[in-house]
Structures are given as structure tokens and as C-alpha cells.
Amino acid sequence: MAGPPSSKRQRTADPALATSRIEGLTTDLLLRVMSNLDARLAVQICVLFPCFRDLWRSLPCINATCEEFEDDEGIVNEVSFKAFINRFLARRESVGIDRFRLCYSIVGGPGTDLEACYVDANDWIRHALEHDARIVELENHSEPLELDPDVFTSKCLETLHIGNATLVEGFFEQLEHGCPGLKDLVLTNCMITDHEISSPTLELLTVQEELGFVHDDRLFLKGLSGVTRLTFYYGHRKLTMEKDYQWCPKFSNLTDLILEGWCVHEDFYALIVFLQNSPNLKKLTLELDKPRLHQGKLCAIVGELEERSFTCDQLEIVNIICSEKALLAKVKQFLLDGGVELEKIHDCRN
């Protein structure tokens, strides 16, 4: 038979004592804790404690997530979600925002006003940027979100992650001129109708999942020639380049490059192109365990090269993540044949 609960358990379960402990926390600590919660949950918790009932109005990080408005079947009540976020942002104190995360769900169909949904989302993003948000993360489900380029005007924005959105003509030009401090750009499952990705300040570009390129399968790399770090994920389809076609710019400042398995197809064509155009590369990471198939189809950039040699005089380390022994050996031999010293090549499976 179990004995009576210990006094320690009794003290921990005492609501009054728990409340006292929470109310004894500093405001700064509470703000940090609340910033990790969804906005709706943060408000619900704050109203339970009179001493920091309005603390949510000063949160430095806002998680505007639609999941908090799902019913038992996982369907989001869009009307309630939009009304809550509008009230939440309108009643905030006039304090800066460090990070703004929007997780939205636009479900198209009869009676859905997509334009109104776009306007709401762009207004929320504008609010965050007008309050000096340093990090903006946009995650969207169902119908792609059409972003208004004019919204992106901020000297403080450093990191921008965009998922499932349409990036219209003029979007990247606005980023270049309107967000001069942008360093980290992640594009996931986006439809790009713009002509070029260009940013003189961008240090890290991540392109992942399937992207729609409307303008002749261009890879939009020319405008990124000044980056120092580049993570390039290609998961679209097999793309065949004309012989010796110059699709890759000269990355004169690039020192840190991460590529996946798509770059080692067709006798290392894509990897050679990157190495030929990265004269100051110091660190190369090859994540070869990443899937090289998308919907059962090969994902790769392939072509022919008249000149296959490359020099990596500045290269200090090559990290290879590959569980296929045959492929690992092939990649190592390729690097050795290209002049990379054995002690600089590291097997990072473990």
C-alpha cells in the first residue's frame, strides 16, 4: 500500500506556493520564458496572475501561430486567429520586437477572400518590421502567401525565413535596398517570379524543398556573388545545363560552403563548378546522406565541362557526411585527384 504523499510533494502541489514562486520571478526572466510560448498561450497565462497581467504586451518575441486555433479535427478557425492577432498587435506596448514568427494557414475554396488574407499577413509583418524586428520567420500552410515587397523596409532585419510564398517581381530588389542589414535568407517551397536574387550583404542563403522558378529555370545566383557563407540545397528536379554554360558566378568572398548529394551526380559536375568559382574557399561540407530524390525523381544539376580542373589553395577542411562507403570512397578520391591533401578530408559520419 502506498504511503501518504511526502511533504515535498504536498508543497510542490500547493497552488498558492506555486503562484508565489512564479510571482517571485524577475520581469526579464518572465519575458524570456513567455517569448517561447505561442502568443495566445502567453496571454492566457498572463491573465491568471494579476501581478503581470499585462506582461504579454511587452514580449520581445512573438509567436503568432494558427495551431492554437485548431479544432479537434485540426481545422484552423481563420476568423478567430486573424481577430486575435489584430487585437494582440494593436494592444502591444510601443516596444521593440526582436523576433516575429508567423505560422499561417490559408485554405482556398468557395467564399475565401485570398486577397484579404494576404493583406492581413503583410500588415502583421509590416508591424513587426516597423518595431525593429531582427528576425522574421514566415511559415505558411495550404495556399501560398503572396508577399508585398513594399512591406520589407527595415534597417534592423538580419534574418528572414520564408516558407510557401509567392515572391513577385521586385521582391528581391526591395530586399536589397529596403533591408540593408539582411544576412540570412531561407527560402522553402516558394514560387519565384522575380528575375534575380540580389543582396550585397547576404552571408547565408538556404534554398530548400521544391521551388518554382518562372524565368527559364534560372538559379538566381549572380546577385549573391558577394556572400561569405553559402548553404545551397537543390531539391527541384534534374536540370541539364548546356556545355560550359556559365550559370554559377565567381564567389570571390565565399569561405564556407555546404552542399548536398545533388552536387556529386554526373561525375561531380556541379561540385566542380562551385569549386572552380570559389577561389578563397576555406571550409567545404558535403552532406551526402540527404535525399537525392524528390517524388521519386533525381534531383541534380548536370552538364558537361571542357575544363574540369580546379584549385583550392585556401581550403583548410572538407567535412563529408556519407554513410555509403562506395560513394564516400569515390568522393575522397575525387578530392585527392583535385589536389586536396588527405589530412584536410574528414569523415564525419560519427
CB 111 within 8 A of CB 119: no
Closest Cα partner for 118 from 65, 164, 50? 164
Q: Is 96 helix (H, G, I), strand (E, B) or coil?
A: coil
Question: 83 or 294: which carries more pLDDT confidence?
Answer: 83
Neighbours of 95 (CB within 10 A): 11
Q: pLDDT digit string (tens) for 232-245?
A: 877 666 778 877 77
Closest Cα partner for 298 from 256, 323, 264? 264
Q: pLDDT digit string (tens) for 47-86?
A: 887 778 889 999 999 999 998 888 877 787 888 999 999 9
Above 50 in pLDDT, residue 9?
no
pTM: 0.72
Q: pLDDT digit string (tens) for 266-282?
A: 789 999 999 999 999 99
C-alpha 273/C-alpha 284 separation (Å) is 14
Q: Is 115 helix (H, G, I), strand (E, B) or coil?
A: helix
Q: Determine, yes or no, domain membership for 119.
A: no
Q: What is the DSSP letter of 72?
A: T
Using alpha carbons, list the distances in angstroms from residue 94 to 57, 99, 127, 267, 268. 9, 15, 11, 57, 54
In this prediction, residue 56 carries a pLDDT of: 92
C-alpha 189/C-alpha 167 separation (Å) is 11
Above 90 in pLDDT, residue 19?
no
pLDDT mean over 16-33:
69
C-alpha 44/C-alpha 48 separation (Å) is 7
Above 80 in pLDDT, residue 26?
no
In this prediction, residue 93 carries a pLDDT of: 92
Cell output for 24:
517571485
In this prediction, residue 12 carries a pLDDT of: 46
Above 80 in pLDDT, residue 200?
no
pLDDT mean over 246-268:
86
Closest Cα partner for 92 from 137, 119, 130, 37? 130
C-alpha 146/C-alpha 115 separation (Å) is 9
Question: 212 or 131: which carries more pLDDT confidence?
Answer: 131
C-alpha 298/C-alpha 264 separation (Å) is 12
Q: Determine, yes or no, domain membership for 277.
A: yes
| Side-chain-side CA neighbours of residue 266 (13 Å) | 20
Residue that has been written with the C-alpha cell 560552403 in this structure: 257
C-alpha 342/C-alpha 339 separation (Å) is 9
pLDDT mean over 174-186:
92
| Side-chain-side CA neighbours of residue 304 (13 Å) | 3
C-alpha 33/C-alpha 21 separation (Å) is 14
Q: Which stretch of 12-26, 63-77, 87-101, 121-135 has the lowest confidence by average pLDDT?
A: 12-26
Name the packing angle between helices 78-90 and 114-130 (round to 10°).
30
Q: Which stretch of 51-65, 197-211, 331-345 has the lowest confidence by average pLDDT?
A: 197-211
Above 70 in pLDDT, residue 22?
no
In this prediction, residue 293 carries a pLDDT of: 61
| φ/ψ of residue 53, rounded to 5 | -60, -35
Q: Which stretch of 184-198, 255-269, 302-316 has the lowest confidence by average pLDDT?
A: 184-198
Q: Determine, yes or no, domain membership for 268.
A: yes
Q: Determine, yes or no, domain membership for 141.
A: no
Count of structural domains, the chain: 1
Cell output for 203:
552571408
Q: Determine, yes or no, domain membership for 231.
A: yes
CB 236 within 8 A of CB 210: yes
Largest CA-CA distance found in the chain, in angstroms, rounded: 82
Closest Cα partner for 205 from 259, 141, 127, 262? 259
Closest Cα partner for 172 from 145, 143, 201? 201
pLDDT mean over 318-335:
92
Q: Determine, yes or no, domain membership for 4.
A: no
Q: Determine, yes or no, domain membership for 267.
A: yes
In this prediction, residue 211 carries a pLDDT of: 55
Domain that holds residue 323: 203-349
Q: Is 286 helix (H, G, I), strand (E, B) or coil?
A: strand
Identity at 187, one-letter amino acid code: L
| φ/ψ of residue 51, rounded to 5 | -70, -25
What's the pLDDT band for 5 if we cut at 50, 70, 90? very low
Q: Which stretch of 9-23, 68-82, 95-109, 234-248 has the lowest confidence by average pLDDT?
A: 9-23
**Mean pLDDT for the chain?**
83
Percent of the chain clearing pLDDT 90 (strictly above) = 41
Cell output for 140:
505558411
Q: Determine, yes or no, domain membership for 197.
A: no
In this prediction, residue 34 carries a pLDDT of: 86
In this prediction, residue 11 carries a pLDDT of: 43
Percent of the chain clearing pLDDT 70 (strictly above) = 83
pLDDT mean over 281-293:
83
Above 90 in pLDDT, residue 29?
no
CB 261 within 8 A of CB 289: yes
